Structure 1
Amino acid sequence: MVPKDDSYYANSDIAIIKGLGTTYTSSFYKKGIFTLFDLLLDFPFKFLDQTKITKISDIRPDGGFYFIDAHIVAVQNVLTRRVKMLKMMLQDDTGKIEAVFFNLYPNQIKAYTRGRRILAFGPVKYNDYNGVVNFTQPTVTFLEEGDEVKPQERMTPVYHAVEKVPQAAIRKAVNGVLQSLHAIPLPELLPQKHNPFNLTLSQALDLCHYPFPPDIPNQKIIPEKTEGFKRISYEELIAYQLTLLSVKRKNEQHNAVAIDKALEDTDRFIKSLPFELTGAQMRSFKEVQQDLSSQKPMLRLLHGDVGSGKTMVAVLAAIQVAKSGNQCVVLAPTELLAQQHYQKFKALLDPCGIRTELITSSIKGVKRKKLLEDIESGEVQVIIGTHSVYQEEVHYRNLILAIIDEQHRFGIDQRIALLKKAPSDITMHQLVMTATPIPRTLQLALFSDLDVSTLDELPKGRKPIITAVMPDTRKAEVIKRLDEVCHQGTQVYWVCPNIEENEDETESVKTTYKELKKQLPDLKIGLLHGQLATNEKNKVMKAFLEKEYDILVATTIIEVGVDVPNASIIVIEGAQRLGLAQLHQLRGRVGRGALDSYCILIYKSSETDVNDIAMQRLSIMRATTDGFKIATEDLKLRGPGEVLGNKQTGFDIFRVVDVNRDFELIDIARNAALDIIHNDTETCRALIARWFPKFKV
């Protein structure tokens, strides 16, 4: 019987899997895998081929995995002070090859006797030390002479490590759930006309974990390029589009508050500014102004390059709202950014007689009580903060506009919690801002429920940032030059990709901090990273702003940070590891003042660490400072199938989808979602419940 919903897989704890045990279960929990559905979505990152037997004469010492049927013809025990090694010679009817095992138990060694027939599966390498080609620690199955060997029909999955859980146990657990899919398949929710892959979700999941071997021998299978994987990503994209369309539909069920354009107040404010707004800022503000004057709820995305002046458009919207006797809230993703917005808004709005306040979790006691009272009474017209702005204890008098900065950093449920703060039966106007120029395709994927205003001009007088790319072998030259310019009053950011040293990441912010302190003893150097407490981060950033530090060594946390006009140089170490969008965001930390500004991208010079794509990214950074060009090139470079260590987009709302990798699916997913939401309410609800269970339709 086909179930009506996903409850068995979505609600069943992995602890029910036979033979998993409490130790393994706890390890899966630590990785964020709690339910059977979670386990099904933990896909392999590569596959091994045990679908065919290879003759020894056809083996190549390329590090690839091979599967052979052979006899043991010689066995040798090698004991050294460091390691116990068992060597054996394997032979089939075409030749011989050596196999090497390390630290076997005595009862295991006894099983390996001359004349025994075995199946061996493992990597074959050329040993530089002794010039011998051998199997290294292969998996062995013992056979009787008359046994018929039946290779597997499908590829063998290899999963990302789960602490304390061996690959065999992961495979067994996943395979057990896949077998359940044959008896209790997941309900097929996609209508046939919207399923170009002709695979059910259950079939797609099965093929993602156990694909058939490729038609071309030794061809590598890239999981994300398989039809099964695309089928799953496509369904999640449809579900996400349905959440956006549902939010838009909900918004349109109630009217917003239509407010006067406040032409006199906004014109007076614009004339008082010591600089001229760009044409793009004026055009965008007029679009916002028009939206706010309508009873139809505004849903608008304001995006532009770093430094294109989004804040000023938001300030003008706040003036229009405040002068009508209403309130607006500015939601920021970090406390540092909330502080920056507060300082800017307050400086600009105080002369207009508009009260601006910051609310964060660090404001406590009597001060917090008074602030909450003033917000509830309407004495505060502009409220700025992080998640504090939509907490249950915060009540507004007449909140009609939400300005959400970097919306993709907030979940749908968080945004809905904020929108519930609107007066009864009123839908809030929403202005969403992002400092990432977004190509049209990604606009459709992530902000398809919004109208779009684009800031495609930079303010007059803004000097382009000069960008240099150099290998880490020239780091000493950079440090020497910084010593000179910092003594002349220049401030510098030095960015490293991570906090601690580890196997994969050699640039450590803490190590670099110590290194620079040692090499530049006369300079004051600060340290900023995500492990610091919030008040410590704010303290360090404030000290840098007030010129107490010459150099700030930081992680990419400064990507969204306080503007420091005197900081005119940014050094980004390990730049080959970062995506174009993030590199461009980081570069935007400088060039905020009147000084000539520089960005130095240092890459690791070893060939193993710098691939063609990484060098193309760095070349693009050197060639242009246009964020829209960079966003478009970024999309071209990171087409389907490229496996990245980090999701460069920052959009972490998906379980399977990467919007850059899967961008080719976006248009058809959008069209399918539009049809489903208009014609099939039950399917709409079921798809959203499967992929975004916290979202209430």
Structure 2
Amino acid sequence: MPATNPKNPESASASTPPKAAAKKPAKPAASIESKLAKLGLRTDMDLVLHLPMRYEDETQIVPIREACLRGGHVSQVEGVVTKNEIAYKPRRQLLVSIADETSDIQLRFMNFYGSQVKQLAEGTRVRARAEVRHGFFGAEMVHPVYKIVNEGAPLPNALTPVYPAGEGLSQTVLRRAIADAMRRVDWTDTVPQSVRTRLNLAEFQPAVRLLHYPPPDVDEHALTERTHPAWNRVKFDELLAQQLSLKRAQQARREKGAPSLAAVGQLSEAFLKVLPFALTGAQQRVVKEIRADLVEDYPMQRLLQGDVGSGKTVVAALAAAQAIDSGYQAALMAPTEILAEQHFRKIAAWMEPLGVKVAWLTGSLKKKEKQAASELVESGQAQLVVGTHALIQDTVQFAKLGIVIVDEQHRFGVGQRLLLRNKGSDGLVPHQLMMSATPIPRTLAMTYYADLEVSIIDELPPGRSPIVTRAIDQNRRDEVIERVHAAALEGRQAYWVCPLIEESEALQLQTATETFETLAASLPDLVVGLVHGRMKPAEKQAIMDGFSAGEVHVLVATTVIEVGVDVPNASLMVIEHAERFGLSQLHQLRGRVGRGSAASVCLLLYQSPLGPVAKQRLMTMRETTDGFEIARRDLEIRGPGEFLGARQSGQAMLRFANLETDQWIVEQARDVAAWLLDAGTPEFDAIVDAHLQRWLGGREEFLKV
């Protein structure tokens, strides 16, 4: 990117030589506007809040000799071109040598325009900035940012901002657009003076101006690390907008009517009596919270989170029982057919002996079966419906839907969850219980789930065995196969999970089908099964049934067994190419073992050499089985966007606040949002409107449903 400052747009770089640019006609404004729009910069305030991603220090020149001695650092040097040539080995490249009174250095351009060759002619004075490397021909800068200057040309007196840019948008264009926008926007502060004083917040306009145009005496470390008071003000405003929007969404939902599911009657009581185990204290607490919500005449919006194997399905079944006791239907939607079928089999086994009709509805059903299931749902004969995305199709109509239970909710998009919620009748919105086996760190819950009530099952059922986790190099596969064989001879079963179904030349990973064939040949005295997502449901279920019954000793699978599969006799888990999986997925897979009383082991097979992120993940898996600790570390590694599946979930990601380091600001923003909304005065409502308009600009489709 060109190293320019707002006062000196006449700069050049390897990608935008000024002489070449000068020959071209100016681009029409509409073209620049469309490019800005691609970055989400449609209004003046969007531009004003398009803050620098970093700053470059162009305020000083380092003698070339000094820059060479401290190689590996970014330095700015100035010198006269002494040599200019195009080399053709090992590839076509432009080599330019510049020298000052202390030494010389080579500038190397692998991609260049013909005009640059003339521009960097011998005798030209050049100011260049890049990391200094020591190559085969001595010290060099590769593709430096450079300017053609006159001797004694003044240096910038402040740090130069560098903005996130899109294709065809130079830093010069962005800086000019931002400067123009700053002259036009309304700078009225949307945070009350009393709040600014109490929280020691900088005023909005000075803070934003400082970030765009840092003064010479600014604390450079605080600016680049984003700990400067100006950054804290921007982070606070961003988090406040998020809190206000989510809390407003919560208020709007509470204004909608929902069926009051007040009866905890015969079915609920009978269900608890037939369970072959007692609820844990955590389950009892969560059931109490949900029951209190379901009595209300506004829709429950509760997130139920608990670690792998903590017993969320039982809690969901009790919520469904309360709806059925109250004369309503319940629907449970899962993201995959294998998970939906696990729920269906488990809940039907509990409920049907008690006289409850449980329907099964998925996309793979034959037309007649699907129609028959839909008729049961529409007539109200099916009191509980379990299925996949098929539940939200237009052809499926509920007679009297009281509660919607969504498992692994982060795997569904906003639109999908909304369609199921809209299946209510008589203008009422059904209650919604969302379940997640991926524990959500507290700070994340306070921000992205600020509009939900959160229940946590933080206790595992008694009798679960601890899981020992080991990381093993792929070179020791034979030892691992022998361990699987030994476990089977002791009467135990094993999972062997692979990341791909078919061969991929790009990734060179062991495939599920190849692993299945290898294990079947290596373990001729054992029954080895194979399950993957592309199998027909009947084939898949036959293998799963055989594994559950103990007839299949080793189950080779893709991640279709990530959630929902419960085989207490399975005590060994082998995860092939564990370095390719995320932390959350590894934790979910490991949770398939340790469900019985036998000591359980999870072996993470990896391919050397490991990258730093993969090392971190495997180390975390070895060190802890605590889902919340794993989630916290996962958030550190991946950030909230990827952690939440944000593109799919439709949540507005934070641009400036960092949930790891800015938790204190999250708490401040949450409290101020509650104070502004609870006041309910016209004055405060206007403040809230202005703040949301500034930060979201009407883009409240990001609000979760």
Give the TM bin, normalised by the shorter chain. 0.7 to 0.9
In structure 1, the partner of 2:330 is: 328
Letter in 1 for 2:700: P
1:494 aligns with 2:497: yes
Q: Deviations over 1:90-125 (max 9, x none)?
A: 211332223333365655434444322112222310
2:3 alignment counterpart: none
Q: CA distance change for structure 1 residues 650 and 79 in 2, over 3 Å: closer, same or farther?
A: closer
Contact 2:334 2:387 in 1 (8 A): yes
Which residue is 1:624 aligned to?
624
Distance apart, 1:588 and its partner CA: 1.2
What CA distance in whole angstroms lies between the structure 2 residues aligned with 1:482 and 1:182?
A: 66
Give the alignment partner of residue 306 of structure 2, picking from 304, 307, 319.
304
Q: Does 1:148 align with 2:153?
A: yes
Distance verdict in 2 for CA 1:253–1:20, change over 3 Å: closer
- Aligned twin of 2:287: 285
Q: Unpaired segments of 5 or more residues in structure 1?
A: 1-14
Counterpart of 1:126? 134
- In the alignment, the residues of structure 2 paired with residue 480 and residue 40 of structure 1 have an alpha-carbon distance, to the nearest angstrom, of 63
User: Is the contact made by 2:503 and 2:511 (CA closer than 8 Å) also made in structure 1?
Assistant: no
- 1:347 is aligned to 349
Match of 1:454 in 2: 456
Query: Structure 2: how far apart are the matches of 1:500 and 1:190?
Result: 56
Mapping for residues 493-642 of structure 1, pairs under 5 Å = 493-496=496-499, 508=507, 510-513=509-512, 516=515, 520=519, 522=521, 526=530, 528=532, 543=543, 546-547=546-547, 550=554, 552=556, 554=558, 559-560=562-563, 562-563=565-566, 565=568, 567-572=570-575, 580-593=583-596, 595-602=598-605, 606=609, 609-610=611-612, 618-631=618-631, 634=633, 638=636
Q: Where does residue 655 of structure 1 map in the other structure? A: 653
Match of 2:22?
none
Whichever residue aligns with residue 634 of structure 1, its letter is: R
Structure-2 residue corresponding to 1:157: 162
Classify the secondary structure of the residue corresponding to 1:283. helix
Tell me if the contact between 1:55 and 1:92 (Cα under 8 Å) persists in the aligned partners.
yes
For residues 21 and 251 of structure 1, do their structure 2 counterparts lie closer, same or farther at Cα, with a shift above 3 Å needed? Answer: closer
3-state DSSP of counterpart to 2:310: coil
Same amino acid, percent of matched pairs:
32
Partner Cα separation in structure 1 for residue 284 and residue 409 of structure 2: 23
1:334–1:483 Cα change, 3 Å:
same
Q: CA deviation at 1:522?
A: 1.4
**Separation in structure 2 between the aligned mates of residue 212 and residue 569 of structure 1, nearest angstrom:** 61
Q: Which residue in 2 is equivalent to 1:84?
A: 92
Moved more, 365-374 or 314-323: 365-374
TM-score (norm 2): 0.76
Residue by residue over 1:584-630, the C-alpha shift from the partner in whole angstroms, topping out at 9 and shown as x without a partner, is 233213334565422223566647x226xx76664453343233454
Distance apart, 1:211 and its partner CA: 6.5
Contact 2:407/2:435, CA 8 A, preserved across alignment: yes
Match of 1:55 in 2: 63
| Cα shift at 1:45 | 5.9
Q: Say if 1:462 and 1:153 are closer, same or farther in 2 by CA, change over 3 A.
A: same
Q: Which residue of 2 aligns with 1:469?
A: 471
Counterpart in the other structure of 1:93: 101
Contact 1:498 1:509 in 2 (8 A): no
1:670 aligned partner: 670
Mapped pair 1:267 → 2:265: no
Relative distance call for 1:627 and 1:116 in structure 2 (3 A) is: closer
* Separation (CA, whole Å) in 2 of partners of 1:264 and 1:67: 79
Residue 5 of structure 1 is matched in structure 2 by none
Distance 1:200 1:601 in 2: 50
Secondary structure of 1:694's partner? helix
Question: Counterpart of 2:633 in structure 1: which amino acid?
Answer: D
Query: Which of 264, 275, 278 is 1:276 aligned to?
Result: 278
Shift of 1:46: 5.2
Deviation at 1:151, TM superposition (A): 3.5
User: Partner letter of residue 133 of structure 1?
Assistant: A
Structure 1 position 186, deviation (Å): 6.6
Letter paired with 1:109? V
1:315, CA displacement in angstroms?
Answer: 0.9
Offset of residue 306 of structure 1: 1.0
Show the 5 A alignment for 1:367-446: 367-410=369-412, 415-424=417-426, 426-446=428-448
Within the alignment, does 1:114 sit opposite 2:116 as a pair?
Answer: no
Q: Point out the more displaced range, 446-455 or 299-308.
A: 446-455
1:68, distance to aligned residue in structure 2 (A): 1.6
Pair 1:265–1:51, CA change in 2 (3 A): same
Q: Deviations over 1:286-306 (max 9, x none)?
A: 443344345565444432221
TM-score w.r.t. structure 1 length?
0.77
Query: After superposition, what is the alpha-carbon deviation per residue over 1:378-432, rounded to whole angstroms, capped at 9, x for unaligned?
Result: 1121123445444555432222222233444556665554444333354533333
Q: Displacement, 1:310?
A: 0.9
Letter of the structure 2 residue corresponding to residue 493 of structure 1? W
Give the conservation status (yes or no) of the 8 Å contact 1:61–1:125.
no
**Match for 1:122: what amino acid?**
A
